[in-house]
Amino acid sequence: MDAKELRKYFPILHQEVNGHPLVYLDNGATSQKPIQVIEAMDKYYKEYNSNVHRGVHTLGSLATDGYEGAREKVRAFINAREAAEVVFTRGTTSAVNTVAYGYARAVLKPGDEIVTTVVEHHANFIPWQQAAKATGATFKFIPLAEDGTVTLDAVRDTITDNTKIVAIHHISNVLGDTTPIKEIAQIAHQHGALLFVDGAQGAPHKKIDVQDLDCDFYAFSAHKMAGPTGVGVLYGKREVLERVEPMEFGGEMIDFVELYDSTWKELPWKFEGGTPIIAGAIGLGAAIDFLEEIGMDNIERHEKKLVAYAMEQMREIEGMTIYGPQQDRSSLITFNLAGVHPHDLSTVLDSYGIAVRAGHHCAQPLMRWLNVTATARASFYMYNTEDEVDAFVAGLKKTKEYFGNVFS
């Protein structure tokens, strides 16, 4: 895989920001989109825009084929047993809420437990917190190791026979650690609990095999994996998805509508009320084609190499703190530079054309656990290069120098 070669497919990368070539290191927030994805969506709107699942006419069939074809691509991408286990949502957030409302709130009782960690992104935290609050279930946290990682011993010590749902990240958007999903699934299942995996930072960066992981749910967003915003996926095993009630009622999702009751379509459509995100799903399908062409293993290897290369140079900067595990990290590095607030750091880097994220990364409980109010984060993708890492490290050094000067 040649990152430099890949860049030609991403029109946005070829521009200057504040007089410097753009170095985009905010992929954890959203990734850039290749021309193939942009054109696939364009083509739908220009050539076969139509609603799905209803028109008997030609364009209607083409749109339905495009939409359902994208579902099949997702199925193959995560190795689900059948396409019916792939539900299109607005993104990871709405996927979590679909299960938190349609399952957790409907079945949990006082005494039941939802188990999670303080590492979770707010999207995989608040829906469960509120479901626990609404049902009287207990909201429990797996204690973390010193570097913020989740150990199996801690998982075993926390999950009990009262645990009904375990909600956990595949890859943390702050710490970059990868949780042992397969083993956690085993422990959860021994206690009769379901495992919900937030894969927002997993699916874009790693080969996913949901059958091998044996998780009950896996959620992710298209826009973090070279696809468009506004569309995501809720994967669920058929037998568990059948136990989840739909949250949104309306057209597209119904079977029979009577005056005083209605019945739902079968999976996955019972969760897709209203006209779905047709262009978005088609764009996600094109993104998956693009990722498969490069190979997820190649992407993961490239990113890990970049992260290791960056961390090695960052450690040499005095006053640098890198949060989370110090090796074998996925695609992102969260850090602080002593004496420079992350916002200030981000503003100075931006003046050199370097885009990083600063703030709490939608993980306030984790920020408190780390005992910081904010951090900076550089997150990489397949098209980032070692030259860009060098520019980023040089930018960090200049930031430090700049603040050294304004302070003196």
Partner 1 sequence: MSSLDDLYRRVIMDHYQKPRNRGKLEEAEGLIVNLNNPTCGDSISLSLKVEDGKVTDAKFLGEGCSISMSSASMMTDAVKGKSVEEALELAHRFSELMQGKEIDDSIDLGDIEALSGVAKFPARIKCATLAWKALEQGIKQSGQE
Which residues contact partner 1 by CB under 8 A?
Answer: 341-344, 347-348, 351, 358-360, 364, 367, 373-374, 402, 406-407
CB of 307 to partner 1, least distance (A): 24
Select 152 or 372, whichever has its Cβ closest to partner 1: 372
Nearest to residue 181, comparing CAs of 146, 206, 145?
Answer: 206
CB of 407 to partner 1, least distance (A): 6
Select 327 or 371, whichever has its Cβ closest to partner 1: 371
Handedness of CA 181, 298, 357, 370 (dihedral sign): positive
Select 60 or 359, whichever has its Cβ closest to partner 1: 359
Which two three-digit tokens encode residue 216?
A: 């009950």
- Distance separating alpha carbons of residues 182 and 372, to the nearest angstrom: 31
Catalytic residue among 87, 234, 362, 367: 362
- Distance separating alpha carbons of residues 272 and 249, to the nearest angstrom: 9
CB of 405 to partner 1, least distance (A): 9
Sheet holding 375-379, edge to edge: 320-322, 332-337, 375-379, 357-359
| Backbone torsions φ then ψ of 321, nearest 5 degrees | -120, 125
Indicate the burial class of 365 (C-beta count within 10 angstroms; 0-12, 13-18, 19 or more): middle
Do you find a cis peptide bond into 228, omega within 30 degrees of 0? Answer: no
- Distance separating alpha carbons of residues 335 and 324, to the nearest angstrom: 9
CB of 125 to partner 1, least distance (A): 15
Length of the chain: 408
Active site residue 362: yes
Select 289 or 344, whichever has its Cβ closest to partner 1: 344
CB of 147 to partner 1, least distance (A): 22
CB of 406 to partner 1, least distance (A): 5
DSSP-derived letter for residue 47 is I
DSSP-derived letter for residue 2 is -
Cβ(225)–Cβ(233) below 8 Å:
no
| Backbone torsions φ then ψ of 333, nearest 5 degrees | -130, 120
Select 19 or 110, whichever has its Cβ closest to partner 1: 19
Select 66 or 342, whichever has its Cβ closest to partner 1: 342
Q: Which residues are catalytic?
A: 362
